[in-house]
């Protein structure tokens, strides 16, 4: 009888020692596909204005003699040159970029920040 009592006490003690180790403390599993989205836009507007004026004059006169055989005078030659240049230029550029990245995420237990795949 003592043998049975010692055997029953040993089995009860072994079960009592293993019981706390068998309790799990996992929270429910969660899963999903977190998505990273990036939108970029760039707009450029450029305006250029240029103006140039060139005004030139040239006078060529020959000696004048009224007391000669011919009594004639030579004319005076005048040349005028005027150039006006104006440039207006406007450029507009627009660029858009859209990037989306999704990865699977599985959490067994509590994870405040989701993992980035294999990173």
Each residue's pLDDT tens digit, 75-115: 778 899 999 999 999 999 999 999 988 877 776 666 655 55
Helix (H) or strand (E) holding 100, with range, is strand 76-102
Q: List beta partners, residue 35.
A: 102
- Give per-residue pLDDT as tens, 48-81: 999 999 999 998 877 666 665 555 567 778 899 9
Q: Residue 43 is inside which H or E element, if any? A: strand 35-61
Instruction: Report the length, in residues, of the chain.
Output: 119
User: If DSSP codes are grouped into helix, strand and coil, which group holds residue 98?
Assistant: strand
Contact (CB, 8 A) for 106 and 29: yes
Residue 9 lies in a domain: no
Task: Say how many domains are in the chain.
Answer: 1
1: pLDDT strictly greater than 50? yes
The residue segments making up the domain with residue 50 are 43-96
Structural domain contains residue 88: yes
Judge whether residue 26 has pLDDT over 70: no
pLDDT of residue 118: 44
């Amino acid at each position: 009888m003592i043998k049975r009592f010692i055997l029953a006490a040993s089995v009860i003690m072994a079960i009592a020692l293993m019981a706390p180790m068998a309790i799990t403390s996992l929270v429910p599993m969660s899963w999903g596909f977190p998505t990273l989205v990036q939108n970029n836009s760039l707009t450029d507007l450029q305006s250029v204005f240029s103006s140039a004026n060139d005004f030139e004059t040239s006078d060529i006169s020959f000696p004048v003699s009224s007391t000669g055989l011919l009594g004639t005078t030579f004319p005076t030659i005048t040349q005028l040159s005027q150039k006006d240049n104006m440039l207006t230029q406007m450029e507009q550029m627009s660029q858009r970029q859209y990037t989306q990245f999704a990865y699977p995420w599985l959490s067994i237990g509590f994870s405040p920040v989701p993992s980035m795949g294999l990173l």
